[in-house]
Amino acid sequence: MLIEVKSSRPTPTPTLTHVIPSQGGAAVCAVTSLGDDVFVVRDNSQQQVEVYDAETLTLQRHIAVHGLGRSYGSVACPNNNCLYASDLNADNIHRVELSGSNAVKKWFVASLPAGLSVNIAHNLVVACQGANKLQEYTTHGSHVCSQVCPTHGMLSSCPLVTMWSVRTCCQVWSV
């Protein structure tokens, strides 16, 4: 179930405005938005991404993503007009073109890709929990660089910072 809550500054209590119901008991595992669309990936995704209207949260369509397994990370890139979804089962990333064709490209990454982010260079940053490393890729899957995290388990509890590249993280961690 996905819930949208809005809060106005003067009122300290948030107000529930929309609920996306569960579908067959499948939990929502990844959510991202771009423009007027909200993209939802559920546990047992059945190789598809649900697309909801951002204003009303009504289901608009499904995007087929052949081979998509268990995903705990998704992010949309407005610059490249695409959606990325991680696949923990197969250790890969699925990139979906959002310009109409919905063409899908996928590539392998390190073990257990979970957190995804797009950095200031419009590259994809992947937090791979099993390998305890961050990996940076171009929008078409070319590897830019990798960095092992200094503390084991750090990636399972920390969100990615979108403005940093992996190189910046390397500099921060090496201080």
Domains of the chain, each with CATH number or no CATH: 2-6+15-173 (2.130.10.10)
Question: For the chain, what is the radius of gyration of the CA atoms?
Answer: 17
How confident is the model over 143-153, as a mean pLDDT?
80
Q: Is 90 exposed, middle or buried (0-12, 13-18, 19+ CB in 10 A)?
A: middle
User: Between residues 168 and 81, which one has the greater pLDDT?
Assistant: 81
Contacts of 143 (CB under 8 A, 6+ apart): 135, 136, 137
The pLDDT confidence band at residue 114, using thresholds 50, 70 and 90, is confident
Candidate from 11-15, 20-24, 43-47, 104-108 with smallest mean pLDDT: 11-15
pLDDT digits (tens, 9 = 90+) for 57-112: 999 999 999 999 888 899 999 999 999 999 988 999 999 999 888 999 999 999 89
CB atoms within 10 A of CB 59: 15
